[in-house]
Structure 1
Amino acid sequence: MSRFTLLLGGDLVRTPSLDALISGTRVIAADSGMRHAATLDIVPELWVGDFDSVPQDMIDAYPHVPRRVFPPEKDKTDGELAIAAALEAGATGLTLAGAFGGERPDHMFLHLTQALQLSERGIDARLTSGAQEGLPLALGRRHLFDYPQDMLFSILAFSPLSGLTVEGAKWPLDAVEVAFGSSLTLSNAVDGRLAVTLEKGRALLVAHLLDDGAH
Protein backbone atom coordinates (compact mmCIF):
# COMPACT_ATOMS: atom_id res chain seq x y z
CA MET A 1 0.00 0.00 0.00
CA SER A 2 1.35 3.42 -0.98
CA ARG A 3 0.16 6.03 1.51
CA PHE A 4 0.49 9.76 1.00
CA THR A 5 0.06 12.65 3.42
CA LEU A 6 -1.32 15.82 1.87
CA LEU A 7 -0.65 19.11 3.66
CA LEU A 8 -3.76 21.27 3.31
CA GLY A 9 -4.49 24.84 4.34
CA GLY A 10 -6.58 24.23 7.48
CA ASP A 11 -5.52 23.96 11.12
CA LEU A 12 -2.91 21.49 12.33
CA VAL A 13 -1.36 20.69 15.70
CA ARG A 14 1.42 18.19 16.09
CA THR A 15 0.78 15.22 18.37
CA PRO A 16 2.46 11.82 18.87
CA SER A 17 -0.57 10.19 17.23
CA LEU A 18 -0.26 12.42 14.18
CA ASP A 19 3.47 11.71 13.96
CA ALA A 20 2.72 7.98 13.98
CA LEU A 21 -0.01 8.40 11.36
CA ILE A 22 2.21 10.15 8.83
CA SER A 23 5.42 8.24 9.58
CA GLY A 24 6.78 6.57 6.46
CA THR A 25 4.30 8.23 4.11
CA ARG A 26 5.10 10.24 1.02
CA VAL A 27 4.17 13.91 1.34
CA ILE A 28 2.67 16.47 -1.04
CA ALA A 29 1.92 20.05 0.00
CA ALA A 30 -1.03 22.03 -1.35
CA ASP A 31 -0.29 25.75 -1.61
CA SER A 32 -0.25 27.37 1.87
CA GLY A 33 -0.44 23.93 3.48
CA MET A 34 3.35 23.94 3.12
CA ARG A 35 3.49 25.88 6.40
CA HIS A 36 2.73 22.61 8.20
CA ALA A 37 5.96 21.07 6.90
CA ALA A 38 8.00 23.00 9.48
CA THR A 39 5.56 22.05 12.26
CA LEU A 40 5.88 18.37 11.37
CA ASP A 41 9.60 18.54 10.55
CA ILE A 42 9.10 17.01 7.10
CA VAL A 43 9.98 18.00 3.53
CA PRO A 44 7.37 17.23 0.84
CA GLU A 45 8.38 15.62 -2.43
CA LEU A 46 6.06 17.95 -4.38
CA TRP A 47 4.33 21.31 -3.88
CA VAL A 48 1.24 22.09 -5.94
CA GLY A 49 -1.13 25.04 -6.24
CA ASP A 50 -1.52 28.52 -7.65
CA PHE A 51 0.70 29.95 -4.87
CA ASP A 52 -1.55 32.98 -4.47
CA SER A 53 -1.54 32.61 -0.67
CA VAL A 54 2.11 31.59 -0.25
CA PRO A 55 4.53 34.28 1.01
CA GLN A 56 7.85 34.63 -0.75
CA ASP A 57 9.83 33.70 2.36
CA MET A 58 8.09 30.30 2.41
CA ILE A 59 9.02 29.72 -1.22
CA ASP A 60 12.60 30.73 -0.42
CA ALA A 61 12.68 28.26 2.49
CA TYR A 62 12.03 25.27 0.20
CA PRO A 63 13.99 25.95 -3.00
CA HIS A 64 14.66 22.27 -3.70
CA VAL A 65 11.04 21.07 -3.48
CA PRO A 66 9.62 20.66 -7.01
CA ARG A 67 6.65 22.93 -7.65
CA ARG A 68 3.70 22.33 -9.94
CA VAL A 69 2.19 25.78 -10.52
CA PHE A 70 -1.37 26.37 -11.72
CA PRO A 71 -3.14 29.61 -12.69
CA PRO A 72 -5.25 31.26 -9.95
CA GLU A 73 -8.34 31.05 -12.17
CA LYS A 74 -8.86 27.30 -12.28
CA ASP A 75 -11.69 24.82 -11.77
CA LYS A 76 -10.07 22.80 -8.96
CA THR A 77 -8.92 23.73 -5.48
CA ASP A 78 -5.28 23.34 -4.51
CA GLY A 79 -6.29 20.44 -2.27
CA GLU A 80 -7.99 18.64 -5.14
CA LEU A 81 -4.89 19.16 -7.26
CA ALA A 82 -2.79 17.58 -4.49
CA ILE A 83 -5.15 14.60 -4.35
CA ALA A 84 -4.87 14.19 -8.13
CA ALA A 85 -1.07 14.36 -7.95
CA ALA A 86 -0.97 11.69 -5.23
CA LEU A 87 -3.26 9.36 -7.16
CA GLU A 88 -1.19 9.91 -10.28
CA ALA A 89 1.87 8.85 -8.26
CA GLY A 90 0.16 5.60 -7.24
CA ALA A 91 -1.44 6.46 -3.89
CA THR A 92 -3.77 3.81 -2.47
CA GLY A 93 -4.28 5.64 0.83
CA LEU A 94 -4.42 9.34 1.70
CA THR A 95 -4.15 11.30 4.94
CA LEU A 96 -5.53 14.81 4.48
CA ALA A 97 -3.62 16.78 7.12
CA GLY A 98 -4.95 20.26 7.79
CA ALA A 99 -8.40 19.22 6.57
CA PHE A 100 -10.34 20.91 9.40
CA GLY A 101 -10.62 24.56 10.43
CA GLY A 102 -8.81 27.38 8.70
CA GLU A 103 -10.21 30.52 7.12
CA ARG A 104 -12.25 28.76 4.42
CA PRO A 105 -15.15 26.65 5.74
CA ASP A 106 -16.12 25.93 2.13
CA HIS A 107 -12.76 24.23 1.61
CA MET A 108 -13.20 22.26 4.84
CA PHE A 109 -16.61 21.03 3.65
CA LEU A 110 -15.06 19.99 0.34
CA HIS A 111 -12.37 18.00 2.17
CA LEU A 112 -15.12 16.02 3.92
CA THR A 113 -16.93 15.24 0.69
CA GLN A 114 -13.66 14.41 -1.08
CA ALA A 115 -12.83 11.87 1.63
CA LEU A 116 -16.22 10.23 1.10
CA GLN A 117 -15.74 10.19 -2.66
CA LEU A 118 -12.27 8.66 -2.31
CA SER A 119 -13.60 5.98 0.03
CA GLU A 120 -16.30 5.07 -2.47
CA ARG A 121 -13.53 4.57 -5.04
CA GLY A 122 -11.80 2.11 -2.72
CA ILE A 123 -9.09 4.54 -1.58
CA ASP A 124 -8.45 4.63 2.16
CA ALA A 125 -8.89 8.28 3.19
CA ARG A 126 -8.48 9.93 6.58
CA LEU A 127 -8.81 13.57 7.58
CA THR A 128 -6.92 15.12 10.48
CA SER A 129 -6.04 18.35 12.21
CA GLY A 130 -4.14 16.56 14.97
CA ALA A 131 -6.95 17.59 17.34
CA GLN A 132 -9.72 15.97 15.27
CA GLU A 133 -9.82 13.15 12.79
CA GLY A 134 -12.44 12.06 10.29
CA LEU A 135 -13.02 8.64 8.77
CA PRO A 136 -15.53 7.75 6.02
CA LEU A 137 -17.82 4.87 6.94
CA ALA A 138 -17.65 2.25 4.19
CA LEU A 139 -20.96 0.44 3.77
CA GLY A 140 -21.59 -3.02 5.19
CA ARG A 141 -18.42 -3.07 7.26
CA ARG A 142 -18.07 -3.10 11.06
CA HIS A 143 -15.55 -0.35 11.76
CA LEU A 144 -13.58 -0.78 14.99
CA PHE A 145 -11.92 2.18 16.71
CA ASP A 146 -9.30 2.16 19.48
CA TYR A 147 -10.38 5.43 21.05
CA PRO A 148 -10.04 6.13 24.78
CA GLN A 149 -12.94 6.09 27.19
CA ASP A 150 -15.18 9.20 27.13
CA MET A 151 -13.72 10.62 23.94
CA LEU A 152 -16.29 12.67 22.05
CA PHE A 153 -17.28 11.71 18.52
CA SER A 154 -20.01 12.49 16.02
CA ILE A 155 -21.28 10.82 12.88
CA LEU A 156 -21.85 13.40 10.15
CA ALA A 157 -24.49 12.31 7.66
CA PHE A 158 -24.37 13.51 4.05
CA SER A 159 -27.59 11.69 3.16
CA PRO A 160 -30.34 9.75 4.94
CA LEU A 161 -28.79 6.77 6.74
CA SER A 162 -30.13 3.23 7.07
CA GLY A 163 -28.94 0.39 9.26
CA LEU A 164 -26.67 2.51 11.45
CA THR A 165 -25.37 0.57 14.44
CA VAL A 166 -23.13 2.17 17.07
CA GLU A 167 -21.65 -0.06 19.79
CA GLY A 168 -19.32 0.83 22.64
CA ALA A 169 -20.82 4.30 23.06
CA LYS A 170 -22.65 6.20 25.77
CA TRP A 171 -25.66 6.34 23.45
CA PRO A 172 -25.63 3.13 21.37
CA LEU A 173 -27.77 2.70 18.27
CA ASP A 174 -29.10 -0.53 16.79
CA ALA A 175 -29.74 -0.58 13.04
CA VAL A 176 -31.53 2.77 13.11
CA GLU A 177 -32.75 5.02 10.32
CA VAL A 178 -31.43 8.59 10.47
CA ALA A 179 -33.14 11.35 8.52
CA PHE A 180 -30.92 13.75 6.59
CA GLY A 181 -30.35 16.83 8.75
CA SER A 182 -31.01 15.01 12.04
CA SER A 183 -28.75 15.75 15.02
CA LEU A 184 -29.25 12.25 16.45
CA THR A 185 -25.68 11.20 15.71
CA LEU A 186 -23.88 14.28 17.08
CA SER A 187 -21.95 14.52 20.37
CA ASN A 188 -21.70 10.92 21.50
CA ALA A 189 -18.94 9.53 23.74
CA VAL A 190 -16.88 6.35 23.75
CA ASP A 191 -17.88 3.78 26.37
CA GLY A 192 -15.86 0.63 25.73
CA ARG A 193 -14.66 -0.52 22.29
CA LEU A 194 -16.31 1.70 19.70
CA ALA A 195 -17.73 -0.08 16.65
CA VAL A 196 -19.83 1.47 13.88
CA THR A 197 -21.67 -0.23 11.03
CA LEU A 198 -23.58 1.52 8.25
CA GLU A 199 -25.67 -0.35 5.68
CA LYS A 200 -26.83 2.51 3.45
CA GLY A 201 -26.01 6.19 3.04
CA ARG A 202 -23.00 8.47 3.22
CA ALA A 203 -21.41 9.41 6.53
CA LEU A 204 -18.16 10.29 8.28
CA LEU A 205 -17.14 9.64 11.85
CA VAL A 206 -15.42 12.69 13.33
CA ALA A 207 -13.52 12.13 16.58
CA HIS A 208 -12.44 14.91 18.93
CA LEU A 209 -9.13 13.59 20.18
CA LEU A 210 -8.12 13.98 23.81
CA ASP A 211 -4.95 15.83 24.78
CA ASP A 212 -2.11 13.91 23.18
CA GLY A 213 0.86 16.09 23.96
CA ALA A 214 0.05 18.60 21.22
CA HIS A 215 2.57 21.28 20.40
Structure 2
Amino acid sequence: MSKFTILLGGDLIRTPLLDRQVAGTRVIAADAGMSHARTLSLTPELWVGDFDSVPADLPDELTAVPRQVFPAEKDKTDGELAIAAALERGATSLVLAGAFGGKRTDHAFLHLALSVRLAEAGTEVLLTSGAQEGIPLLRGKAGFDYADGTLFSILGFSDLSGLTVTGAKWPLNHIEMAFGSSLTISNEVKGRLEIALGSGRALLLAHPFPLTES
Protein backbone atom coordinates (compact mmCIF):
# COMPACT_ATOMS: atom_id res chain seq x y z
CA MET A 1 0.00 0.00 0.00
CA SER A 2 1.25 3.47 -0.91
CA LYS A 3 -0.13 5.97 1.59
CA PHE A 4 -0.12 9.73 1.02
CA THR A 5 -1.14 12.64 3.22
CA ILE A 6 -2.71 15.54 1.32
CA LEU A 7 -2.48 18.85 3.17
CA LEU A 8 -5.64 20.86 2.45
CA GLY A 9 -6.62 24.37 3.49
CA GLY A 10 -9.29 23.62 6.09
CA ASP A 11 -9.05 23.57 9.88
CA LEU A 12 -6.44 21.35 11.54
CA ILE A 13 -5.20 20.67 15.06
CA ARG A 14 -2.32 18.37 15.91
CA THR A 15 -3.18 15.36 18.04
CA PRO A 16 -1.35 12.12 18.93
CA LEU A 17 -3.88 10.20 16.80
CA LEU A 18 -3.25 12.41 13.78
CA ASP A 19 0.51 12.03 14.25
CA ARG A 20 0.07 8.25 14.07
CA GLN A 21 -2.18 8.49 11.03
CA VAL A 22 0.33 10.52 8.98
CA ALA A 23 3.49 8.81 10.23
CA GLY A 24 5.51 7.30 7.39
CA THR A 25 3.28 8.67 4.65
CA ARG A 26 4.37 10.58 1.58
CA VAL A 27 3.09 14.14 1.67
CA ILE A 28 1.71 16.57 -0.93
CA ALA A 29 0.52 20.08 -0.03
CA ALA A 30 -2.30 21.91 -1.81
CA ASP A 31 -1.63 25.67 -1.85
CA ALA A 32 -2.59 27.08 1.61
CA GLY A 33 -2.44 23.55 3.04
CA MET A 34 1.32 24.05 3.27
CA SER A 35 0.71 25.83 6.59
CA HIS A 36 -0.21 22.44 8.07
CA ALA A 37 3.21 21.06 7.13
CA ARG A 38 4.63 23.35 9.79
CA THR A 39 1.94 22.32 12.28
CA LEU A 40 2.62 18.62 11.76
CA SER A 41 6.41 18.91 11.32
CA LEU A 42 6.21 17.41 7.82
CA THR A 43 8.09 18.27 4.64
CA PRO A 44 6.03 17.55 1.51
CA GLU A 45 7.62 16.15 -1.62
CA LEU A 46 5.41 18.38 -3.80
CA TRP A 47 3.43 21.63 -3.49
CA VAL A 48 0.48 21.95 -5.90
CA GLY A 49 -1.82 24.84 -6.79
CA ASP A 50 -2.20 28.31 -8.24
CA PHE A 51 -0.36 29.77 -5.23
CA ASP A 52 -2.85 32.53 -4.53
CA SER A 53 -2.95 31.56 -0.83
CA VAL A 54 0.68 30.98 0.09
CA PRO A 55 1.20 31.03 3.88
CA ALA A 56 3.49 33.76 5.19
CA ASP A 57 6.80 33.22 6.99
CA LEU A 58 7.39 29.63 5.94
CA PRO A 59 10.75 28.14 6.89
CA ASP A 60 13.30 27.63 4.12
CA GLU A 61 12.78 23.87 3.92
CA LEU A 62 9.12 24.42 3.04
CA THR A 63 9.56 27.27 0.56
CA ALA A 64 12.10 25.04 -1.23
CA VAL A 65 9.58 22.22 -1.83
CA PRO A 66 9.17 21.54 -5.60
CA ARG A 67 6.07 23.23 -7.01
CA GLN A 68 3.53 22.22 -9.61
CA VAL A 69 1.95 25.53 -10.65
CA PHE A 70 -1.49 25.88 -12.25
CA PRO A 71 -3.36 28.97 -13.50
CA ALA A 72 -5.93 30.55 -11.18
CA GLU A 73 -8.66 29.88 -13.75
CA LYS A 74 -8.74 26.09 -13.91
CA ASP A 75 -11.21 23.21 -13.93
CA LYS A 76 -10.14 21.62 -10.62
CA THR A 77 -9.48 22.90 -7.12
CA ASP A 78 -5.96 22.85 -5.71
CA GLY A 79 -7.02 20.02 -3.44
CA GLU A 80 -8.29 17.85 -6.26
CA LEU A 81 -5.09 18.53 -8.21
CA ALA A 82 -2.99 17.46 -5.21
CA ILE A 83 -5.03 14.27 -4.89
CA ALA A 84 -4.56 13.59 -8.61
CA ALA A 85 -0.81 14.05 -8.20
CA ALA A 86 -0.79 11.48 -5.38
CA LEU A 87 -2.77 8.99 -7.47
CA GLU A 88 -0.34 9.48 -10.36
CA ARG A 89 2.45 8.55 -7.93
CA GLY A 90 0.73 5.30 -7.03
CA ALA A 91 -1.33 6.27 -3.97
CA THR A 92 -3.71 3.56 -2.78
CA SER A 93 -4.53 5.22 0.55
CA LEU A 94 -5.06 8.92 1.33
CA VAL A 95 -5.22 10.99 4.50
CA LEU A 96 -6.93 14.28 3.63
CA ALA A 97 -5.67 16.53 6.44
CA GLY A 98 -7.49 19.86 6.73
CA ALA A 99 -10.51 18.55 4.82
CA PHE A 100 -13.13 20.31 7.00
CA GLY A 101 -13.97 23.89 7.90
CA GLY A 102 -11.87 26.81 6.73
CA LYS A 103 -13.07 29.75 4.69
CA ARG A 104 -14.50 27.74 1.78
CA THR A 105 -17.56 25.64 2.55
CA ASP A 106 -17.74 24.64 -1.11
CA HIS A 107 -14.25 23.14 -0.90
CA ALA A 108 -15.13 21.26 2.30
CA PHE A 109 -18.20 19.78 0.61
CA LEU A 110 -16.10 18.77 -2.38
CA HIS A 111 -13.68 16.90 -0.11
CA LEU A 112 -16.58 14.93 1.41
CA ALA A 113 -18.13 14.03 -1.94
CA LEU A 114 -14.80 13.35 -3.64
CA SER A 115 -13.74 11.00 -0.84
CA VAL A 116 -16.81 8.85 -1.48
CA ARG A 117 -16.05 8.70 -5.20
CA LEU A 118 -12.42 7.80 -4.52
CA ALA A 119 -13.44 5.05 -2.10
CA GLU A 120 -15.83 3.60 -4.67
CA ALA A 121 -12.92 3.49 -7.12
CA GLY A 122 -10.82 1.49 -4.64
CA THR A 123 -8.77 4.16 -2.84
CA GLU A 124 -8.83 4.08 0.96
CA VAL A 125 -9.62 7.57 2.29
CA LEU A 126 -9.55 9.22 5.71
CA LEU A 127 -10.61 12.86 6.07
CA THR A 128 -9.46 14.63 9.22
CA SER A 129 -9.19 17.93 11.03
CA GLY A 130 -7.55 16.29 14.04
CA ALA A 131 -10.71 16.91 16.07
CA GLN A 132 -13.02 15.02 13.74
CA GLU A 133 -12.59 12.50 10.96
CA GLY A 134 -14.59 11.13 8.07
CA ILE A 135 -14.58 7.69 6.45
CA PRO A 136 -16.59 6.83 3.31
CA LEU A 137 -19.06 3.99 3.77
CA LEU A 138 -19.20 1.41 1.00
CA ARG A 139 -21.76 -1.29 0.35
CA GLY A 140 -21.25 -4.09 2.87
CA LYS A 141 -20.22 -4.15 6.51
CA ALA A 142 -17.41 -2.30 8.28
CA GLY A 143 -16.22 -2.04 11.90
CA PHE A 144 -14.66 0.94 13.66
CA ASP A 145 -12.47 1.15 16.78
CA TYR A 146 -13.85 4.14 18.66
CA ALA A 147 -14.12 4.51 22.41
CA ASP A 148 -17.50 4.39 24.12
CA GLY A 149 -19.19 7.78 24.08
CA THR A 150 -17.59 8.88 20.80
CA LEU A 151 -20.01 11.13 18.93
CA PHE A 152 -20.67 10.12 15.33
CA SER A 153 -23.04 10.82 12.46
CA ILE A 154 -23.73 9.13 9.15
CA LEU A 155 -24.03 11.62 6.32
CA GLY A 156 -26.09 10.37 3.39
CA PHE A 157 -25.25 11.64 -0.09
CA SER A 158 -28.23 9.77 -1.55
CA ASP A 159 -31.16 7.66 -0.39
CA LEU A 160 -29.80 4.81 1.73
CA SER A 161 -31.18 1.30 1.97
CA GLY A 162 -30.33 -1.65 4.16
CA LEU A 163 -28.60 0.57 6.72
CA THR A 164 -27.77 -1.26 9.96
CA VAL A 165 -25.89 0.29 12.89
CA THR A 166 -24.83 -1.76 15.93
CA GLY A 167 -22.58 -0.85 18.87
CA ALA A 168 -24.37 2.49 19.23
CA LYS A 169 -26.61 4.23 21.72
CA TRP A 170 -29.32 4.32 19.04
CA PRO A 171 -28.94 1.20 16.86
CA LEU A 172 -30.65 0.82 13.50
CA ASN A 173 -31.77 -2.38 11.81
CA HIS A 174 -31.87 -2.58 8.03
CA ILE A 175 -33.66 0.74 7.52
CA GLU A 176 -34.43 2.82 4.47
CA MET A 177 -33.41 6.48 4.81
CA ALA A 178 -34.30 9.33 2.47
CA PHE A 179 -31.65 11.73 1.24
CA GLY A 180 -31.59 14.77 3.54
CA SER A 181 -32.90 12.93 6.61
CA SER A 182 -31.38 13.86 9.99
CA LEU A 183 -32.09 10.41 11.48
CA THR A 184 -28.41 9.42 11.59
CA ILE A 185 -27.05 12.67 13.03
CA SER A 186 -25.55 12.72 16.57
CA ASN A 187 -25.32 9.12 17.70
CA GLU A 188 -22.83 7.71 20.25
CA VAL A 189 -20.60 4.65 20.22
CA LYS A 190 -21.57 1.99 22.75
CA GLY A 191 -19.41 -1.07 22.30
CA ARG A 192 -17.96 -2.13 18.95
CA LEU A 193 -19.37 0.15 16.24
CA GLU A 194 -20.36 -1.70 13.09
CA ILE A 195 -22.17 -0.24 10.08
CA ALA A 196 -23.68 -2.17 7.19
CA LEU A 197 -25.02 -0.53 4.03
CA GLY A 198 -27.09 -2.21 1.33
CA SER A 199 -26.98 0.59 -1.22
CA GLY A 200 -26.41 4.33 -1.47
CA ARG A 201 -23.59 6.78 -0.82
CA ALA A 202 -22.66 7.78 2.73
CA LEU A 203 -19.86 8.90 5.00
CA LEU A 204 -19.17 8.27 8.68
CA LEU A 205 -18.20 11.45 10.54
CA ALA A 206 -16.77 10.86 14.03
CA HIS A 207 -15.28 12.97 16.81
CA PRO A 208 -12.51 10.82 18.31
CA PHE A 209 -12.01 13.27 21.18
CA PRO A 210 -14.66 14.54 23.66
CA LEU A 211 -16.33 17.78 22.60
CA THR A 212 -17.14 20.66 24.93
CA GLU A 213 -20.44 22.16 23.90
CA SER A 214 -21.07 25.85 24.48
Task: Tell me if both proteins adopt one fold, taking TM over 0.5 as the criterion.
Answer: yes
Question: What is the CA distance between 1:99 and its match in structure 2?
Answer: 0.2
Q: Which amino acid aligns with 2:120?
A: E
Name the aligned partner's letter for residue 66 of structure 1: P
Structure 1 residue 159 corresponds to structure 2 residue 158: yes
Alignment of 1:32-111 (within 5 A): 32-55=32-55, 57-58=57-58, 62-111=62-111
Q: What runs of 5+ residues in structure 1 fail to find an aligned partner? A: none
8 Å CA contact retained: 2:31, 2:78: yes
Q: Counterpart of 1:23 in structure 2: which amino acid?
A: A
Q: Is contact 2:35-2:55 (8 Å) kept?
A: no
Corresponding residue of 1:117: 117
* Structure 2 residue matching 1:183: 3-state secondary structure: coil
What is the deviation of 1:138? 1.1
Q: Which runs of 4+ in 1 moved over 6 A?
A: none
Query: Once the two structures are superposed, what CA deviation does each residue of 1:39-73 show, in whole Å capped at 9, x if it has no partner?
Result: 10010000000000114533856232100011111
Identity rate, percent: 67
**Root-mean-square deviation (CA), in Å?**
1.4
TM-score, scaled relative to structure 1: 0.95
Whole-Å separation in 1 of the counterparts to 2:42 and 2:18: 13
Conserved 8 A contact 2:4-2:86 = yes
Q: How many residues align?
A: 211
Number of the residue aligned with 1:17 = 17
Instruction: For structure 2, list consecutive stretches of 5 or more residues without a partner in the other structure.
Output: none
Number of the residue aligned with 1:8: 8
Contact 2:150 2:210 in 1 (8 A): no
Amino acid corresponding to residue 52 of structure 2 in structure 1: D
- Give the alignment's TM-score, normalised by structure 2: 0.96
